[in-house]
Structures are given as C-alpha cells and as structure tokens.
C-alpha cells in the first residue's frame, strides 16, 4: 500500500485534491469534528485542562475558538488531547485499507506531528495566497487572528514544499488538478 500525504498551507485545497485521487481518504479535519461531537473522554480532558472555555458536551466550535484566541499556549493544550485520538483513528483507517493500492492522508499537521513514515509520498498543494485568502474568507468561522494562531504551530510552506516529492499547483479547477494527479499516479503505480 502506498501512503500518499497531501500537505500545504491552510486553505490551499488539500481536501479537495485528496478526494480527486480516487483512493480512500483519511480526512483528519472531519475526524476532529467527530471527536468533538462524540468523544466524552476528550471533552472531560479539555474541560480539566481549560475549564474557563469548555462547558458542556458536545464541544462547540465557539469554545475552541475562544480558547485559542485567549492564549497561544491553549492550541498546544488542545492538540495534545486531540492528536493522540487522531493518530488512533488514522491507524484504524490504515488497517482497514491495508489491501488497497494506495491511501490518501489529508492531515493538516502531518509533518508537525511526525506522522510520516520513510516510504510515504508527500505531495505539496500549492495555491496562490490571494486565492487561499479569498476561499478562507468564505468559511463561517474565518478570522485572520485565528488563522495566524494556527500558522504559528505549523512548519513553513517552504519547508513542506522541500520535503515533498511532488507539487500540485491547485488553481481550483478539477481539470488541471486531475492532470497532475494522473501524472503522479502513473509514476507511483
């Protein structure tokens, strides 16, 4: 099984590109949302670590945002609770799909959390900064301050691009992206 990880900047279209590969996708953002909605154990840990911000189960997006905006160190506290759960879910996903030719890992902090293995194929998703910002502003909970807080815990896009074996220029049209994906798949398979 080939493990393909899509990496890049926030809002660069990693999830969009991941789906176009046509292989099973592990989407960490969706899994995080499920954890906030269904995992009482994580809620209890969050409430214990950050009692001023977490009040009732399920965890609300506004509570997470308030905690992060109040103090930069709160991101670390939250990720220290959530990321071990994501790692478990990713391992279950990998076991479930072990007979597939390839799987796509859409995990925003893939390199930062050392989730990469030696044989992983890293694909950097490159998008224009103006396009990224335009797309992020359409999100309901968009905040430039929040975006900057998240960027502080991420490796630079320059570093991620250097680590990647492939780069897909995402202009948010499926035709050009699919062309890049087909080229990469031909090389890998």
pTM score: 0.91
Predicted confidence band of residue 129 (pLDDT cuts 50, 70, 90): confident
Measured distance CA(34)–CA(39) in Å, rounded: 8
Measured distance CA(37)–CA(170) in Å, rounded: 31
Per-residue pLDDT, 148: 82
Measured distance CA(127)–CA(170) in Å, rounded: 5
Per-residue pLDDT, 58: 97
Taking only the tens place, the pLDDT of each residue in 65-88 is 999 999 989 999 999 999 999 999
Taking only the tens place, the pLDDT of each residue in 4-29 is 999 999 999 999 999 999 999 999 99
Measured distance CA(164)–CA(32) in Å, rounded: 25
If you classify domain 2-188 with CATH, what class do you get? Answer: alpha beta
C-alpha closest to that of 75 among 141, 185, 170, 149:
149
List C-alpha distances in Å: 25 to 20, 70, 159, 181: 10, 33, 24, 14
Exposed/middle/buried for 55, CB within 10 Å: 0-12, 13-18, 19+? exposed
């Amino acid at each position: 099984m080939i493990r393909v990880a899509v990496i890049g900047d926030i809002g660069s279209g990693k999830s969009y590109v991941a789906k176009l590969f046509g292989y099973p996708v592990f989407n960490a953002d969706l899994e995080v949302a499920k954890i906030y909605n269904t995992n009482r154990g994580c809620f209890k840990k969050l409430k214990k670590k950050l009692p001023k911000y977490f009040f009732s189960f399920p965890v609300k997006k506004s509570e997470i945002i308030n905690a992060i905006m109040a103090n930069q160190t709160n991101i670390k506290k939250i990720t220290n609770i959530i990321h071990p759960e994501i790692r478990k879910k990713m391992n279950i996903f990998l076991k479930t799909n072990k007979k597939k030719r390839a799987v796509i890992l859409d995990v925003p902090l893939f390199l930062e959390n050392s989730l990469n293995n030696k044989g992983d194929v890293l694909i950097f998703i490159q998008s224009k900064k103006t396009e990224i910002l335009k797309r992020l502003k359409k999100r309901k909970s968009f905040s430039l301050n929040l975006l900057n807080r998240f960027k502080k815990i991420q490796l630079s896009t320059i570093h991620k691009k250097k680590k990647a074996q492939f780069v897909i220029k995402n202009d948010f049209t499926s035709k050009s992206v699919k062309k890049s994906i087909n080229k990469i798949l031909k090389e890998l398979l």
